[in-house]
């Protein structure tokens, strides 16, 4: 894009600011960063326009120059522009320095390898030390503001890269101590304090000494290379920290630093120098200085915090938020070493006073009140991190800090918290019930809040405030019956006066502990069910009842619902009514509810309402109590959805429909049974978790077997041995098969699950059945008869059955025992096997040799021949 006019830039900057992301996503965003840099040098644009361009680069450098190389190039270009400025006063020098600093930091390029960094740092240090930088830094009138700006830039760089200025401490001290025409005190003081703190932290972590860093005054730059050593150590340590606050005592670890007596003296001198001139700083800068120095000296040996003492009286008298906060930070950092018990009491008084002083604004009051309840006591008693009234804060002192109805909501809640803390203490002391006791006052206040919340047409904020106060009281005074009982009563009255607050009541019941929740639930239920069923407030009553209904007072509840049903004319009311029914179903209300649901299923106008009533009726009459609870309970599947209808559907989906789940069941085939009229598979079952109402369904591909019946087991528990399951098979053909198995079961949570188990094989031998045994003498004849009957329809075959080392006798007894008809051990056996549905297999094993036995077989089913071959060959391997 070519050179833009002033108007064009104004428009462009405006469009960018309106939505930076949208602007940068559009085509015109692409060149913005580049155009901005080049147009800064344009002579046609006014300085004002250029300042606004630079202001943009100060706020959005990451959008303009998104990566490190771009940021480096931008910083270089900004520095070039700075150098090229004509030597007359210009409003651009300051923002150019700020912009180059910002670009380096946000681009993450500040470091020894960045050319721009190596140019910027000496430039800034030169400016800060008031050196003559020659032409380009033009008029002397600008020197002082630029000196301050350079200090600010260095401070920002040091903040982002701690240790960067570790080598310049001596130089900075020298500048600050200069007599005569002097550098601006505030920027130098803050820069020195920050660099000092960072150096102490880095050296303590590295367990190194201060190495004379405080005293070396030789300016490092001016051509010499910048010292990055400390910064590189520091860089790794830019990590979360809790400045100056006791909770972080352990991580602070400055005690690791052991300065030599001389170093300790220099350090003390540097801190004293900073504190002595601190009155020249603005209040906010003084506060920053105190935080930094407090942090720097905390835990450091040989550095007594009395250095701060002369500042304290002056600071305690002010109303300035930042200063009083800094004093509190010093209090937290040094405790008794800086504040005696009397000092502590005075500080507490000043804080109490500031928290209510009519000349201070509300946000300051509230912050002071927070500080009061988090006050860093010398000898804290309670648990750390919890708001509590400090020991020295006597109830007498708090009189002016108690809430009243005229307070703003924030102030009312903050002061109410204090009042609750006082009541908690008060309860132990007195039970006189005086009019001015804090508990009595609290009750009056709550009554006032309830009265305001009850105003019909009043703003919701008033109602919200009343419930927030109730919640806070229930939280702080959970065990105090004397407070909670009237609160419960008052809330019930509020509901009577303004049932439209039902959503607030539901919310409160959801959040308070049972100390308030349980009694409140009871009175609210009474409040609702004691009314006639109609009226404008019906929808609120129904909403309320859905929350508070339970097994108690069933008949009153059902009576109310029956009366209400007649008034539920629109869909919304019907749904609200049904929600109450649903809540009753969940808690296990039975008898009367069934009648009501049946009535609703007939009576409601809306078909959806009727359907739901019918559904609930069906659920009530078919599901057991626990299952019903699960089915209607909060849906696990859709916790994020707030629509009750969707949640309901989801709830049913999880609870009533079958869920697919990974199998907690393992099945295996047990030993062969070989008895009875049909082959029966013995299944061993193991479970990993309790499983109820298990149903196993089996299926075989093709039509090898007749359909298989399901197997049912009422209950299985892990670790408890289960009886084997028997699965009768009805082969259509004598053939092995794969069993496809599905399991359906209920978990202990009540959910019904479905799972697909790994298939199980039905082996050929699993189908074998013996013939009925003839009497002892007739066996050979019986066998011969069978043998002859096979031909001519069947077939005869001869096989070689290899034998293992145990020989034929062992093989037969192991695998074929039930089917042996004639046995002449150890060499000869006649075996007859029934193959369902109606085939037979006859084997003659005769004249066994050491390594095998010849087998003659006959069968009337041709198709089994290959199976028999495989079977016999496999036997020896199986022994």
Partner 1 sequence: MEHSFVMQCIADPKPSARRYPTVEKRAKVFNGTSYVPIPEDGPFLKSLLFELRLLDEDRDFMESRDSCSRINKTSVYGLKVGGEELWPVVAFLKNGIVYACVPLVEQTLSPRPALISISAISQGFELLFGIQDFLYSSQKIDTELNTKLSQLPDLLLQACPFGTLLDANLQNSLDSISFASVTHPQKQPAWKAGTYKGKPQVSIAITEKVKSMQYDKQDIADTWQVVGTVTCKCDLEGIMPNVTISLSLPTNGSPLQDILVHPCVTSLDSAILTSSSIDAMDDSAFSGPYKFPFTPPLESFNLCYYTSQVPVPPILGFYQMKEEEVQLKITVNLKLHESVKNNFKFCEAHIPFYNRGPITHVEYKVSFGQLEVFREKSLLIWIIGQKFPKSMEISLSGTVTFGAKSHEKQPFDHICIGGTAYLKLHFRILDYTLTGCYADQHSVQVFASGKPKISTHRKLISSDYYIWNSKAPAPVTYGSLLL
CB-wise, 422 or 833, nearer to partner 1?
422
CB-wise, 144 or 747, nearer to partner 1?
144
Q: CB neighbours (10 Å) of residue 488?
A: 22
Which residues, other chains included, contact 461 with Cβ-Cβ below 8 Å and sequence gap of 6+? 409
**Selection from 643, 635, 510 nearest residue 575 by Cα:** 643
Strand order from edge to edge, sheet including 665-669: 665-669, 680-687, 725-728
Q: Report the site for partner 1 in 757-786 (rule: CB under 8 A).
A: none
Q: CB neighbours (10 Å) of residue 1?
A: 13
Query: Does 59 sit near partner 1 (CB under 8 A)?
Result: yes
230 touches 163 (CB < 8 A): yes
Binding residue for partner 1 (CB under 8 A) from 46, 209, 260, 282?
Answer: 282
User: DSSP string of 53-70?
Assistant: HHHHHHH-HHHHS-SHHH
* Range in contact with partner 1 (rule: CB under 8 A) among 73-81, 300-308, 412-420, 592-600: 412-420
Query: Does 458 sit near partner 1 (CB under 8 A)?
Result: yes
Measured between alpha carbons, how far is 625 from 657 in angstroms, rounded to an integer?
Answer: 17
What is the number of alpha carbons within 13 Å of residue 591 lying toward its C-beta?
4
Query: Does 281 sit near partner 1 (CB under 8 A)?
Result: yes
Q: Report the site for partner 1 in 23-52 (rule: CB under 8 A).
A: 51-52
Q: How far is the CB of 80 from partner 1 (least distance, A)?
A: 21
Measured between alpha carbons, how far is 70 from 65 in angstroms, rounded to an integer?
Answer: 5
Q: Report the site for partner 1 in 316-375 (rule: CB under 8 A).
A: 316-326, 328-329, 332, 346, 349-350, 352-354, 357-364, 366-367, 369-371, 374
Binding residue for partner 1 (CB under 8 A) from 88, 113, 383, 396?
Answer: 396
CB-wise, 323 or 529, nearer to partner 1?
323
Binding residue for partner 1 (CB under 8 A) from 27, 261, 385, 677?
Answer: 385
Q: How far is the CB of 401 from partner 1 (least distance, A)?
A: 9
- The residues pairing with 757 across neighbouring beta strands, listed in sequence order, are 741
Q: Report the site for partner 1 in 460-489 (rule: CB under 8 A).
A: 460-464, 467-468, 470-472
- The residues pairing with 843 across neighbouring beta strands, listed in sequence order, are 831, 857
Q: CB neighbours (10 Å) of residue 188?
A: 26
195 touches 168 (CB < 8 A): yes
CB-wise, 68 or 242, nearer to partner 1?
242
Q: Report the site for partner 1 in 417-456 (rule: CB under 8 A).
A: 417, 435-436, 441, 444, 448, 451-452, 455
Q: How far is the CB of 467 from partner 1 (least distance, A)?
A: 4
Query: Does 61 sit near partner 1 (CB under 8 A)?
Result: yes
Q: How far is the CB of 70 from partner 1 (least distance, A)?
A: 14
CB-wise, 516 or 762, nearer to partner 1?
516
Query: Does 180 sit near partner 1 (CB under 8 A)?
Result: yes
Measured between alpha carbons, how far is 208 from 191 in angstroms, rounded to an integer?
Answer: 22
Query: Does 504 sit near partner 1 (CB under 8 A)?
Result: yes
Backbone phi and psi for residue 236, each to the nearest 5 degrees, phi listed first: -70, -15
Binding residue for partner 1 (CB under 8 A) from 217, 265, 314, 814?
Answer: 314
Q: How far is the CB of 530 from partner 1 (least distance, A)?
A: 24
Q: How far is the CB of 89 from partner 1 (least distance, A)?
A: 9
Query: Does 457 sit near partner 1 (CB under 8 A)?
Result: yes
* Range in contact with partner 1 (rule: CB under 8 A) among 155-163, 200-208, 738-746, 774-782: 155-163
Q: How far is the CB of 583 from partner 1 (least distance, A)?
A: 19
851 touches 861 (CB < 8 A): no
Measured between alpha carbons, how far is 630 from 578 in angstroms, rounded to an integer?
Answer: 17
Q: How far is the CB of 141 from partner 1 (least distance, A)?
A: 4
Q: How far is the CB of 567 from partner 1 (least distance, A)?
A: 23
CA angle 789, 790, 793 (to 5 degrees): 110
Measured between alpha carbons, how far is 219 from 368 in angstroms, rounded to an integer?
Answer: 44
Q: Report the site for partner 1 in 80-139 (rule: CB under 8 A).
A: 94-95, 98, 101-102, 105-106, 108
CA angle 648, 653, 659 (to 5 degrees): 155
**# chain residues binding partner 1, by CB under 8 A:** 139
- The residues pairing with 739 across neighbouring beta strands, listed in sequence order, are 700, 760
Binding residue for partner 1 (CB under 8 A) from 10, 45, 133, 182?
Answer: 182
CB-wise, 306 or 461, nearer to partner 1?
461
Binding residue for partner 1 (CB under 8 A) from 224, 279, 306, 637?
Answer: 279
Q: Report the site for partner 1 in 233-262 (rule: CB under 8 A).
A: 238-245, 247-248
Q: How far is the CB of 40 from partner 1 (least distance, A)?
A: 16
Binding residue for partner 1 (CB under 8 A) from 87, 145, 222, 532?
Answer: 145
452 touches 462 (CB < 8 A): yes
Backbone phi and psi for residue 728, each to the nearest 5 degrees, phi listed first: -70, 135
Query: Does 404 sit near partner 1 (CB under 8 A)?
Result: yes
What is the number of alpha carbons within 13 Å of residue 219 lying toward its C-beta?
17
Q: Report the site for partner 1 in 505-524 (rule: CB under 8 A).
A: 507-508, 511-512
Helices 47-59, 6-18: crossing angle, 10 deg rounding: 20
Binding residue for partner 1 (CB under 8 A) from 503, 728, 774, 804?
Answer: 503
Q: How far is the CB of 374 from partner 1 (least distance, A)?
A: 4
What is the number of alpha carbons within 13 Å of residue 174 lying toward its C-beta?
14
CB-wise, 22 or 688, nearer to partner 1?
22
Collapsing DSSP states into helix, strand and coil, what is residue 737? strand
Query: Does 193 sit near partner 1 (CB under 8 A)?
Result: no
Which residues, other chains included, contact 828 with Cβ-Cβ below 8 Å and sequence gap of 6+? 844, 845, 846, 847, 848
CB-wise, 182 or 865, nearer to partner 1?
182
Measured between alpha carbons, how far is 725 from 72 in angstroms, rounded to an integer?
Answer: 77
CB-wise, 42 or 282, nearer to partner 1?
282
- Per-residue 3-state assignment (H helix, E strand, C coil) for 440-498: HHHHHHHHHHHHHHCCCCCCHHHHHHHHHHHHHHHHHCCCCHHHHHHHHHHHHHHHHHC
Q: How far is the CB of 442 from partner 1 (least distance, A)?
A: 10
User: DSSP string of 782-803?
Assistant: HHHHHHHHHTTTSEEEEEEEE-
Measured between alpha carbons, how far is 480 from 16 in angstroms, rounded to an integer?
Answer: 58
* Range in contact with partner 1 (rule: CB under 8 A) among 143-151, 423-431, 611-619, 830-838: 143-151
Q: How far is the CB of 272 from partner 1 (least distance, A)?
A: 16
């Amino acid at each position: 894009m070519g050179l833009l006019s002033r108007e064009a830039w104004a428009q462009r900057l405006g469009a960018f600011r309106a939505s930076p992301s949208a602007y940068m996503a559009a085509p015109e965003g692409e060149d913005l960063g580049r155009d901005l840099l080049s147009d800064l040098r344009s002579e046609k644009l006014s300085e004002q326009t250029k300042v606004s361009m630079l202001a943009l680069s100060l706020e959005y450098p990451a959008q303009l120059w998104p990566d490190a190389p771009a940021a480096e190039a931008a910083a270089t270009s900004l520095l070039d522009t700075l150098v090229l400025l004509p030597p007359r006063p210009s409003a651009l020098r300051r923002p150019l320095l700020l912009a180059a600093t910002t670009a380096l930091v946000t681009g993450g390029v500040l470091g020894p390898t960045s050319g721009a960094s190596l140019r910027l740092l000496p430039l800034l240090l030169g400016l800060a030390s008031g050196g003559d930088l020659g032409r380009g830094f033009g008029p002397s009138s600008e020197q002082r503001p630029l000196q301050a700006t350079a200090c600010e830039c260095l401070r920002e760089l040091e903040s982002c890269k701690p240790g960067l200025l570790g080598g310049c401490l001596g130089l900075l001290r020298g500048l600050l101590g200069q007599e005569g025409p002097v550098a601006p005190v505030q920027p130098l003081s803050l820069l020195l304090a920050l660099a000092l703190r960072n150096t102490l932290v880095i050296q303590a972590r590295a367990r190194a000494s201060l190495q004379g860093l405080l005293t070396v005054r030789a300016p490092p730059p001016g051509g010499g290379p910048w010292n990055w050593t400390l910064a590189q150590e520091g860089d790794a340590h830019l990590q979360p920290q809790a400045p100056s606050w006791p909770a972080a005592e352990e991580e602070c670890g400055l005690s690791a630093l052991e300065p030599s007596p001389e170093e300790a003296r220099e350090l003390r001198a540097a801190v004293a120098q900073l504190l002595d001139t601190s009155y020249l700083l603005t209040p906010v800068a003084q506060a920053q200085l105190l935080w930094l120095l407090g942090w720097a000296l905390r835990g450091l040996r040989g550095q007594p915090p009395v250095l701060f003492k002369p500042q304290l009286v002056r600071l305690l008298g002010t109303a300035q938020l930042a200063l009083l906060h800094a004093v509190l930070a010093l209090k937290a950092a040094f405790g008794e070493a800086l504040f005696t018990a009397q000092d502590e009491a005075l500080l507490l008084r000043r804080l109490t006073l500031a928290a209510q002083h009519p000349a201070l604004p509300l946000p300051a009051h509230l912050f002071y009140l927070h500080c009061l309840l988090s006050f860093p006591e010398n000898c804290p008693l309670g648990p750390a991190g919890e708001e509590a009234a400090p020991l020295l804060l006597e109830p007498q002192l708090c009189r002016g800090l108690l809430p009243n109805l005229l307070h703003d909501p924030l102030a009312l809640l903050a002061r109410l918290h204090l009042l609750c803390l006082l009541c908690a203490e008060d309860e132990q002391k007195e039970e006189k019930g005086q009019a001015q006791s804090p508990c009595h006052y609290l009750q009056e206040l709550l009554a006032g809040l309830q009265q305001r919340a009850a105003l019909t047409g009043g703003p919701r904020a008033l109602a919200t405030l009343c419930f927030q106060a109730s919640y806070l009281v229930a939280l702080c005074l959970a065990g105090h019956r004397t407070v909670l009982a009237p609160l419960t009563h008052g809330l019930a009255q509020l509901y009577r006066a303004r049932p439209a607050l039902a959503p607030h009541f539901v919310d409160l019941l959801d959040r308070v502990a049972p100390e308030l929740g349980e009694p409140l639930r009871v009175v609210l239920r009474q409040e609702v069910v004691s009314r006639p069923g109609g009226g404008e407030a019906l929808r609120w009553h129904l909403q309320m009842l859905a929350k508070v209904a339970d097994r108690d007072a069933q008949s009153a509840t059902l009576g109310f619902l029956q009366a209400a049903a007649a008034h539920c004319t629109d869909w919304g009311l019907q749904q609200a009514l049904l929600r109450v029914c649903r809540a009753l179903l969940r808690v296990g209300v039975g008898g009367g509810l069934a009648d009501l649901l049946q009535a609703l299923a007939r009576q409601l106008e809306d078909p959806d309402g009727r359907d739901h009533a019918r559904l609930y009726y069906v659920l009530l009459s078919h599901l057991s109590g626990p299952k019903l609870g699960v089915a209607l309970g909060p849906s696990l599947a859709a916790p994020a959805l707030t629509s009750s209808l969707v949640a309901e559907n989801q709830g049913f989906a999880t609870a009533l429909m079958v869920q697919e789940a990974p199998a907690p069941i393992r099945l295996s085939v047990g030993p062969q049974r070989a008895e009875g009229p049909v082959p029966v598979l013995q299944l061993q079952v193991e479970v990993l978790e309790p499983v109820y109402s298990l149903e196993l369904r089996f299926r075989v591909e093709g039509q090898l077997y007749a359909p298989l019946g399901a197997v049912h087991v009422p209950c299985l528990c892990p670790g408890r041995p289960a009886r084997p399951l028997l699965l009768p098979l009805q082969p259509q053909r004598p053939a092995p098969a794969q069993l496809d198995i599905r399991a359906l079961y209920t978990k202990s949570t009540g959910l019904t699950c479905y799972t697909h188990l790994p298939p199980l094989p039905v082996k050929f031998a699993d189908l074998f059945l013996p013939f009925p045994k003839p009497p002892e003498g007739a066996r050979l004849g019986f066998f011969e008869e069978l043998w002859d009957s096979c031909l001519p329809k069947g077939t005869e075959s001869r096989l070689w059955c290899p034998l293992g080392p145990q020989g034929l006798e062992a093989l037969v007894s192991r695998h074929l025992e039930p089917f042996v008809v004639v046995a002449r051990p150890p060499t000869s056996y006649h075996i007859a096997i029934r193959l369902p549905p109606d085939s037979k297999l006859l084997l003659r094993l005769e004249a066994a040799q050491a390594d095998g036995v010849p087998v003659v077989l006959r069968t009337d089913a041709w198709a089994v021949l290959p199976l028999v071959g495989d079977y016999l060959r496999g036997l020896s391997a199986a022994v």
